[in-house]
Amino acid sequence: MNTLDLRDKRIVVTGGAGFLGRQVVDQLLKAGANLDKILIPRSQEYDLCTFEACQKVVQGQDIIIHLAAHVGGIGLNREKPAELFYDNLMMGTQLIHCAYQAGVEKFVCVGTICAYPKFTPVPFKEDDLWEGYPEETNAPYGIAKKALLVQLQAYRQQYNFNGIYLLPVNLYGPEDNFDPRSSHVIPALIRKVYEAQQRGDKKLPVWGDGSPSREFLYSTDAALGIVMATQDYNEPDPVNLGTNQEVKIRDLVETICELMGFEGEIVWETDQPNGQPRRCLDTQRAKEKFGFVAEVDFKQGLKNTIDWYRQHAEPVAV
């Protein structure tokens, strides 16, 4: 395996100031990258939905790690499907094209688990990515991101452009997005339980019936996997990043309540959507191709995330 030496590489990390991005930058530094040569384009300065901004960002760079995304939970996907489709497609497709034109050495594209078909056999294997339509609530987002895989494979075939595509499962960890309008399931639940406790509520309403399953990857593990792939993976096939552990939403809610000491009643709102029925990844390819195995224990990761949120939570109006 020819490990890419990051010491003198000029690296762009889009979304590098975000939840996952900060961890990726940290892992890049641990792998030998030079902080002075890492560019983190900020949205105030670079609107990556425009071609000109993409051209500026990639100029003179060696590696692009594309993490930036317009993303959220079921609520945001139902409210803004057009924005999620357009923003994610335009950001990614123009960035890839500009990177190829600028002679960038390697492009690392971080996709989404939402790209998988609604009824993918569990555990999800990368080869099943095209076996059906994604779950309807997040299909616009998932398809926009999946189109970037096709683009990278086409550019590799025609231009010999080295682009790789990674599929992380739902991420969680300290510094996550806890905004109830756009957060994913773990931060949304932690905030919901915290606020219920502050108000002294005896009931906790939760969307769906608790039957779906998800898989969760701690943010430092995800960042480690991305940097390992940046250094050691150079093939056209997409690669899952996950833990291969399936967690039922019902069990997740009960575990968070237990860790936070909430003793009220969980009320399942069965008129609200469940989202995709099951999610769990086959993680064999990442292990075989670049040696990635997730390290952080799920309960410990939840504890770390809860502790962080409690320290940073806004006061709740009672």
Residue 255: pLDDT over 90: yes
Which one is predicted more confidently, 76 or 247? 247
Number of alpha carbons in the 13 Å side-chain half-sphere of residue 119: 1
Q: Cα separation of 280 and 76, whole Å?
A: 23
Residues of each annotated binding site: 15-21, 145, 168-171, 184, 192, 207, 214
* pLDDT mean over 291-315: 96
3-state secondary structure of 240: strand
Cut 0.85: pTM above it: yes
Q: Cα separation of 115 and 94, whole Å?
A: 19
* pLDDT mean over 239-246: 96
76 within 8 A of 181, measured Cβ to Cβ: yes
Q: How far is CA 127 from CA 89, 146, 242, 282, 290, in A?
A: 22, 13, 16, 10, 18
Tokens representing residue 1 in the block? 């395996």
φ, ψ for residue 157, nearest 5 deg: -65, -45
Candidates 144, 150, 149; CA nearest to 86 is 144
pLDDT band at 318 (very low <50, low <70, confident <90, very high): low
Tokens representing residue 176 in the block? 């996550």
* pLDDT mean over 18-27: 96
* pLDDT, tens digit, 9 for 90 and up, residues 210-238: 999 999 999 999 999 999 999 999 999 99
Query: Domains of the chain, with CATH numbers?
Result: 11-175+216-244+278-295 (3.40.50.720)
- Token pair 């086409």 is found at 154
Tokens representing residue 261 in the block? 């000491």
What is residue 117's predicted lDDT score, i.e. its pLDDT?
A: 93
* pLDDT, tens digit, 9 for 90 and up, residues 29-48: 999 999 999 999 998 999 99
Residues of each annotated binding site for NADP(+): 15-21, 145, 168-171, 184
- Kindly report the average pLDDT of the chain as a whole number: 94
125 within 8 A of 282, measured Cβ to Cβ: yes
* pLDDT mean over 195-209: 94
* pLDDT, tens digit, 9 for 90 and up, residues 80-116: 899 999 999 999 999 999 999 999 999 999 999 889 9
Catalytic residue list: 141
Q: Cα separation of 253 and 263, whole Å?
A: 12
What is residue 315's predicted lDDT score, i.e. its pLDDT?
A: 81
The amino acid sitting at 311 is Q
Share of the chain above pLDDT 70, in %: 98
The region of weakest confidence among 133-137, 164-168, 306-310 is 133-137
Candidates 238, 20, 280, 289; CA nearest to 129 is 238
